[in-house]
Structure 1
Amino acid sequence: MNNNSWSLRISFKQRIWLFATIAGILAIIVIGILLDSSSESQKPIDFNINMSIRNIVPELGVTGKYLARELELPLDVSKKKSVRTLGVTRKELDHAIEHILSHRDVMLKYYVYVALVLFGLVFLVRLGRPDGSDIKNYRDWYPRIPYVIALLLSVTIAGFFLGKSPNPMEGLVKVFKSMVGLYPDPAIKAIAFGFFIILAVIGNKMICGWACPFGAFQELIYSLPILRKIKQKKLPFILTNAIRAGLFLITLFFLFGIIGGRKGFVIYHYINPFNLFNLDFESLSILLTVIIALGVSFIIYRPFCQIICPFGFISWITERFSIFRVRIDKEKCTQCGACIKACPLEAAKGKVERKRLTADCFSCARCLNVCPVDAIRYTSIFKKGRVKKSRYS
């Protein structure tokens, strides 16, 4: 694909869109920095083992049950006694507090997520295809470089620089953790989760495809040019989605005490790959999850997203309501299979075959520059005029 050809072909209006988008992104980041710095909390007090759980938790923004769980104590343990009398050592307390603080949301990350999704959305809807471009130049549409840049920014800025929290997966899990008393203010957690859902609905799984740092890391590995000669595999969607949904339900059963009889056990806590961005491998299972997910990414597209991520499952459900998405003109489509071959999942196949339940679409744009009859667009479900709603799926 010729990225130079694309940059030379975009129209004057598209260049205005590009510069306006960059200006908007910079404004979003500056606002985020200013608001984040103005809301920085004071340094936590010096905790010690003579303090009670009740005295400690207000500074951490969690509940007594959450701290008790981190200290490996029963959730109903006395919150008035000093942790020392509960058998907790200073080392154990420090480790628990360090882990809790690592889960604190860095507010600036929310603005970074918005900026990345905005860039991806404008690129897919307005910039990827040069205005007035002839169909014979379709191979030059939607070059990979802008996408790769967004992925690199996601991994470096939203990942390693700003740390693991917030992220889409924890945004969902924390809602349910707050429902069993591990976090105060369930409404706040619901709002944070709603933020991620909105970004997933505005553009089809855009938060996952363009902004999630661990998703971006897997995408970058899968997209390495040296892997083009390797026969990469597509897993059956019915299998991956069943595993992902089943794991989510089992997690809820454990979390609410339906299985095990003890509330507060979170399976995702032990397979959370976002710990990578804090270099915090508190358990061997987390380290193995990261190694396996990134290793398998060489031959399978986003394995963690497909098989494990609970937000991936929920955002797959919300794809039915996404405003901007890949749409296929049923009248133009010759079912040549080019988009099916280009798609790393079974999403394009599901759309072409008009299946009710299609695989996740991460808005990666691979299908947008392979159709020889111009039957595929990334557009709004409300688009009228050239794109007739009745003809597009």
Structure 2
Amino acid sequence: MMTLIGSNSYFTGFMHKTIYKGNTKAVCVPFMNCYSCPGARFSCPIGGLQAVLGSRKKYVSLYITGFLLLVGILFGRLICGFLCPFGFIQDMIHKIPSKKFKVYQPFTYIKYGLLVLLVILLPMFLTNDIGVGDPYYCKYVCPIGTLEGGIFLVSTNKALQTIVGFLFYYKLTILIIILLTAVIIYRPFCKILCPLGVIYGLMNRISFGKINLNKEACISCSTCKKVCKMEVVPFIDPNVVECIRCGTCLGKCPTKALLFTYKHGQQMKNVRKEEVYDIREIQK
């Protein structure tokens, strides 16, 4: 909640229906937050990456790529678990009482294709007459801009209401589908459609902040697997791309075989063997 308010704290934008264009707009936040939100004081790294790749000179932005690498190495997908405003919104919606379902696993690979195709390749190679590419992911997939900016601007501006067409209603439909799906599936956007999660997730194994598994203490009881809403199997591999470091598995592990550490290469503190055997007897 704090990052949602903090990154969209330009309240004058909401009052005057304008977009902030000050100096801080050149700075990226480490999570998805739309540049076009009237309250946004900063830029979205995925939007910025597309803008640079889609420019006439096709620069590879050292600032944006360096920023993403730095955040990924320091935190991995911890950013997704604790800082992402849209992740927080999905979390709140998922608390609505209903029968819950898991995502169809092959769908989780869609976000990889979106990263390669819409974020990187199309902005670079599918360009207009002057050699500029559109931000295809933002334009055709991302629901965050619709939620944070599009709905407010269109609903409060009669001039915009007369010119909005298929694209706005198409993006609005995507947003509604994602929010409704979030009731029954935990974080569907994060699991299926978020390219930033792919970038950070690929660095989960090398990030300073990671989950370590003490294999000697682990009794393979599958408790961590059962409680993981991101459908990770921590007792097999806790540092896969899908792990958002929410910490649920850490608190539920009966032998404390899982531990979050924030030091590169830090080893797990061993659990006393007699404690492990005591718990194994209980499991029987």
TM-score (norm 2): 0.68
1:358 match: secondary structure: coil
Residue number in structure 2 paired with 1:170: 47
Residue number in structure 1 paired with 2:136: 267
Residue number in structure 2 paired with 1:352: 235
Take 2:225 and 2:22, find their aligned partners in 1: how far apart are those partners?
39
1:212 aligns with 2:84: yes
Q: Structure 1's 317 and 107: CA in aligned 2 closer, same or farther, altered over 3 A? A: same
1:166 match: secondary structure: coil
Take 2:153 and 2:72, find their aligned partners in 1: how far apart are those partners?
28
Residue number in structure 2 paired with 1:234: 102
Residue number in structure 2 paired with 1:277: 148
Structure 2: unaligned runs, 5 residues or longer:
11-16, 155-163, 272-284
Take 2:270 and 2:128, find their aligned partners in 1: how far apart are those partners?
53
1:374 match: secondary structure: coil
**Equivalent residues of 1:205, 1:319 under 8 A apart:** yes
Within the candidate set 225, 231, 247, 1:340 is matched to 225
Take 1:354 and 1:379, find their aligned partners in 2: how far apart are those partners?
15
**Equivalent residues of 2:87, 2:187 under 8 A apart:** yes
Residue number in structure 2 paired with 1:247: 114
**Equivalent residues of 1:327, 1:378 under 8 A apart:** yes
Take 2:201 and 2:251, find their aligned partners in 1: how far apart are those partners?
24
2:210 match: secondary structure: strand
Residue number in structure 2 paired with 1:134: none
Take 1:164 and 1:285, find their aligned partners in 2: how far apart are those partners?
26
1:277 match: secondary structure: helix
2:260 match: secondary structure: strand
1:313 match: secondary structure: helix
**Equivalent residues of 1:368, 1:376 under 8 A apart:** yes
Q: Structure 1's 303 and 181: CA in aligned 2 closer, same or farther, altered over 3 A? A: farther
Take 1:159 and 1:352, find their aligned partners in 2: how far apart are those partners?
41
1:374 aligns with 2:256: yes
Q: Which digits, 9 at most, give the CA deviation of each residue in 1:219-274, with x for residues without a partner?
A: 2222x2x43xx33222244x133211122333244323369998614431122222
Residue number in structure 1 paired with 2:278: none
Which amino acid in the other structure matches residue 242 of structure 2? D
Residue number in structure 2 paired with 1:322: 207
2:202 match: secondary structure: helix
Which amino acid in the other structure matches residue 103 of structure 2? L
1:379 match: secondary structure: strand
Superposed CA RMSD in Å reads 4.1
Take 2:205 and 2:171, find their aligned partners in 1: how far apart are those partners?
32
Write out aligned runs for 1:43-122 (5 A).
Answer: 102=19, 104=21, 107=24
Which amino acid in the other structure matches residue 245 of structure 2? S
Q: Structure 1's 297 and 365: CA in aligned 2 closer, same or farther, altered over 3 A? A: same
**Equivalent residues of 2:80, 2:244 under 8 A apart:** yes
**Equivalent residues of 1:245, 1:313 under 8 A apart:** yes
Identity %: 25
Take 2:206 and 2:199, find their aligned partners in 1: how far apart are those partners?
12
**Corresponding residue pairs, total:** 241
Q: Which has the higher contact order (CA 8 A, sep 6+)?
A: 2
2:212 match: secondary structure: strand
Larger Rg: 1
**Equivalent residues of 1:241, 1:313 under 8 A apart:** no
Take 2:87 and 2:23, find their aligned partners in 1: how far apart are those partners?
19
TM-score (norm 1): 0.51
Residue number in structure 1 paired with 2:161: none
Take 1:359 and 1:385, find their aligned partners in 2: how far apart are those partners?
21
